[in-house]
Amino acid sequence: MEEMIFNMADTHLFFNDLEECDQVHIDDVSSDDNGQDLSTYSFATDGFHAAATSANLCLATGVRGGVDWMRKLAFRYRRVKELYSTYKNNVGGLLGPAKRDAWLQLRAEVEALTDSWLTHALKSLSIISSRSNCVNVLVTTTQLIPALAKVLLYSLGSVFPIENIYSATKIGKESCFERIMQRFGRKVVYVVIGDGVEEEQAAKKHNMPFWRISSHSDLLALHQALEFEYL
């Protein structure tokens, strides 16, 4: 599965170009985008990669490249956003027939080995996303581009809109939580669902209830709480 995630990230989501130019959120460089039509744009020949590797222009030092280079970076993130939105309910269409079959087989094996973990998790996530007054927001320590590939390959694209996905690789989960609170405001109720110490501490700091998931019974309890509208 890891191989498939990085394969998708490299092949379709420009990870070769963007690995050193990681962002927290898909729209973080959108202000550098001039909105030009990308339907006939050649990403392979625009010179971005050569510029990126020779100067290491986007390491975490905050050094930004020239205007032209930043625009090319923004184009890539826009294209990733388009691909995600187009294929989030049709990942097989992005993979093509041969890889699609291998993917479906792998997914079936993962489900069998984990006692349908994903199916159980998806039930809860689907209830949340079907409510008009609720949204799912994902905060992950994975870099943004591989995280998007992962979400797509686990068929979670339908319950996580791309603008609700945050990568904590560079800034940590607590800073991501702060960004999310700035975006949605203080008047909404946040519930943190997770299995790690980092998100539990961040939840505690911001007085958010934390629902720990460490076993199937936790997932089933979450589903019941949502189904009976305790949550």
Q: What is the CATH number of the domain that holds 75?
A: 3.40.50.12350
Give the pLDDT confidence score for residue 223 in this predicted structure. Answer: 97
Give the pLDDT confidence score for residue 65 in this predicted structure. Answer: 63
In a structure prediction context, what are the per-residue pLDDT tens digits for the chain, which is 231 residues long? 999 999 999 999 999 999 988 999 999 999 999 999 999 999 999 888 765 555 555 544 344 567 888 899 999 999 999 999 999 999 999 999 999 999 999 999 999 999 999 999 999 999 999 999 999 999 999 999 999 999 999 999 999 999 999 999 999 999 999 999 999 999 999 999 999 999 999 999 999 999 999 999 999 999 999 999 999
Give the pLDDT confidence score for residue 51 in this predicted structure. Answer: 58
Q: Which residues are annotated as a binding site?
A: 195
Give the pLDDT confidence score for residue 66 in this predicted structure. Answer: 78
Q: Which residues are annotated as a binding site for Mg(2+)?
A: 195
What is the number of structural domains in the chain? 1
Give the pLDDT confidence score for residue 63 in this predicted structure. Answer: 43
Query: What is the model's pTM?
Result: 0.93
Give the pLDDT confidence score for residue 23 in this predicted structure. Answer: 95
Give the pLDDT confidence score for residue 20 in this predicted structure. Answer: 87
Mapping DSSP onto H, E and C, the string for the chain reads CHHHHHHHHHHHCCHHHHHHHCCCCCCCCHHHCCCCCCCCCCCCCCCHHHHHHHHCCCCCCCCCCCHHHHHHHHHHHHHHHHHHHHHCCCHHHHHCHHHHHHHHHHHHHHHHHCCCHHHHHHHHHHHHHHCCCCCCCEEECCCHHHHHHHHHHCCCCCCCCHHHEEECCCCCHHHHHHHHHHHHCCCCCCCEEECCHHHHHHHHHCCCCEEECCCHHHHHHHHHHHHCCCC
Residue ranges making up the domain that contains 172: 1-228
